[in-house]
Structure formats: structure tokens, C-alpha cells
């Protein structure tokens, strides 16, 4: 009993702090969703039936899926170079992953805005070389949002993928090559299945982060590609509709919690077979 309660006593201040800092405010948000402007379920009914809010939900889902797929594919390539490349390639890849990871999301979003805007560097170069006559619309739309989010999310895909690749037993790959399999066949039929847990973990991690993104869509979307987090911000700070914003927040929190539960189950030592 002492062994069981002693760690709990040591963790008690942290648990109390987390409860006060996170659970109590979120309990207040849940309360608003049922009581503002009047008691009832009208906020949830509006959140699940309003065409404008549903379109934001679908846009968020579509963008998150696209960001997840692109980030995982690019992350897999980078992780492969990082884990199995030559020492020089590993060093260069590590720099390409870590340096952007250390730069704040706000700085990166404004960097993409400076690069992709109508009067940005890319359009200036293309017009200067005579490739285009009119500027391309690369920001203030979903394309700009996806570019900015993918750039931010790639490191979060690389880390679980690299971890999974480092656990691959080289002797299994050598055995497959010794049986006459080509390098391509060994990669697709042996290496990729052995890193499937990393792929699943990376996809869930990127999707969970992406679904709550706010700064990058707000800057690169320019109000034309509103996602759920920006919708909540607008409902709270630009319209007195706190109850509906709270209901959307609760729905978003439930969706993220379900995905996190799936992620933890996937990353558990027994691979979710418990």
C-alpha cells in the first residue's frame, strides 16, 4: 500500500494544479454551452444543424486530412533519410527538421505570407522571369493554409516515424534480400509494414494537432478559409454568442479526446491488444 500511495502523494500537487488550471475552466465552458443565452440544448442543435457551422466542420476535416496525408508522406521520406542515410545526409536532414521546429508558428506563418502573397517573393520572381503575367493566388485560400500547416506539422510526423524505423531489425531486411527480394520489394513488403505503428502514430498526432490549429489558418487563410478554432474565436470575440462557441468547443474537445485515446492505445507497449 505504501508503494502505491507514496507516488500518488508526490503527484498530488501536480494533479491539483492541472485540475484547477484546465478542468475547472473547461467545466465552465461546458456550463456555458448548456446555459447561454438560456438553459437547454439549443447551442448543440445549432452547432450540428447550422449550414455555416457544418461547412466549417467539413472544411476543417478536409484540410486536416490533406495536411495529415502530405505531412506523413513527406515526414516518412525525411525520417528515412535521417535514420538510414549517410552521415552527411543525416546531418543535413536533421538540420532541415530541427531548425524550422525551433522557429515559432507565428514567424513561420508571416514568412510564408511574405513568400506567397501577391506581391511576395515567389510571384515577383515568376513575373520577373516572364513565367506569369498576373500574380498567382497562393495565400488567402486553402492552398496557403495547407502549405503553412504542412510546414509546421512535418517535424511532428518525423519523430514517431524515425522512432519506429530505428526499431526495425536489420537482420530481417538482410534475410529478405538474401531470399532474392529486390530492394523495392523489401521496402514495400517488409520495411513499410514493420513501421506501420509509426505511420499510424504520426498520422493521428498530426491530425490531432491540425484540428485545433488557429494562427496559421487565420494568417494565411485571411478569413476565407475559416477552421473550427477560428470560428470559436470569432463567436467569442466578434459576436456575443458565447454559448454556441462553447458548444463548438465541447464538440471539438470530445473529437480530440477520442483521437488521443486512439493514439495512446496505438502507442501502448502492447499495441492496443489489451
Distances from the Cα of 75 to the Cα of 129, 145, 197, angstroms: 32, 18, 14
Using the predicted structure, report yes or no on whether residue 249 has a pLDDT greater than 60.
yes
User: 270 falls in which pLDDT band (50, 70, 90)?
Assistant: low
Among 11-15, 68-72, 244-248, top mean pLDDT goes to: 68-72
Nine cell digits for residue 157: 510526423
What confidence score (pLDDT) does residue 36 get? 83
Distance CA 129, CA 45 (A): 54
Please name the residue ranges forming H helices in 131-191: 142-166, 170-178, 183-186
pLDDT tens digits, 151-175: 999 999 999 999 999 988 888 988 9
Q: Which residues contact 40 (CB under 8 A, 6 or more apart)?
A: 34
User: 67 falls in which pLDDT band (50, 70, 90)?
Assistant: very high
More confident residue, 70 or 181: 70
**Residue 199 in contact with residue 113, Cβ under 8 Å?**
no
Apex 83 CA angle, 80 and 85, nearest 5 = 75
Give the number of C-alpha atoms closer than 13 A to the C-alpha of residue 203, restricted to the C-beta side.
13
What confidence score (pLDDT) does residue 3 get? 63
Average pLDDT, stretch 178-186?
Answer: 88
pLDDT tens digits, 121-136: 898 999 888 888 888 8
Distances from the Cα of 255 to the Cα of 44, 241, 261, 274, angstroms: 14, 22, 10, 23
Using the predicted structure, report yes or no on whether residue 149 has a pLDDT greater than 50.
yes
Amino acid at each position: 500500500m505504501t508503494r502505491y500511495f507514496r507516488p500518488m502523494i508526490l503527484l498530488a500537487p501536480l494533479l491539483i494544479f492541472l485540475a484547477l488550471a484546465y478542468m475547472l475552466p473547461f467545466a465552465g465552458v461546458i456550463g456555458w454551452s448548456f446555459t447561454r443565452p438560456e438553459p437547454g440544448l439549443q447551442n448543440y442543435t445549432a452547432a450540428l444543424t447550422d449550414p455555416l457551422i457544418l461547412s466549417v466542420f467539413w472544411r476543417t476535416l478536409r484540410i486536416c486530412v490533406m495536411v495529415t496525408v502530405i505531412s506523413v508522406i513527406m515526414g516518412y521520406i525525411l525520417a528515412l533519410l535521417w535514420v538510414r542515410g549517410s552521415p552527411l545526409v543525416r546531418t543535413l536532414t536533421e538540420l532541415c527538421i530541427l531548425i524550422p521546429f525551433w522557429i515559432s508558428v507565428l514567424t513561420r506563418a508571416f514568412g510564408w505570407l511574405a513568400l506567397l502573397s501577391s506581391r511576395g517573393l515567389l510571384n515577383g520572381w515568376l513575373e520577373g522571369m516572364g513565367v506569369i503575367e498576373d500574380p498567382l493566388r497562393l495565400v488567402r485560400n486553402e492552398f496557403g493554409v495547407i502549405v503553412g500547416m504542412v510546414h509546421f506539422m512535418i517535424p511532428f510526423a518525423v519523430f514517431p516515424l524515425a522512432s519506429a524505423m530505428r526499431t526495425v531489425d536489420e537482420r530481417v531486411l538482410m534475410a529478405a534480400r538474401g531470399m532474392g527480394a529486390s530492394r523495392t520489394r523489401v521496402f514495400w513488403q517488409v520495411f513499410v509494414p514493420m513501421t506501420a505503428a509509426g505511420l499510424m502514430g504520426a498520422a493521428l498526432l498530426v491530425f490531432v494537432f491540425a484540428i485545433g490549429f488557429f494562427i496559421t489558418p487565420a494568417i494565411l487563410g485571411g478569413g476565407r478559409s475559416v477552421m473550427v478554432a477560428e470560428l470559436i474565436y470569432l463567436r467569442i470575440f466578434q459576436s456575443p454568442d458565447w454559448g454556441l462557441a462553447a458548444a463548438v468547443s465541447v464538440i471539438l474537445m470530445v473529437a480530440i479526446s477520442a483521437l488521443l485515446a486512439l493514439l495512446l492505445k496505438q502507442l501502448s507497449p502492447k499495441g492496443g491488444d489489451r
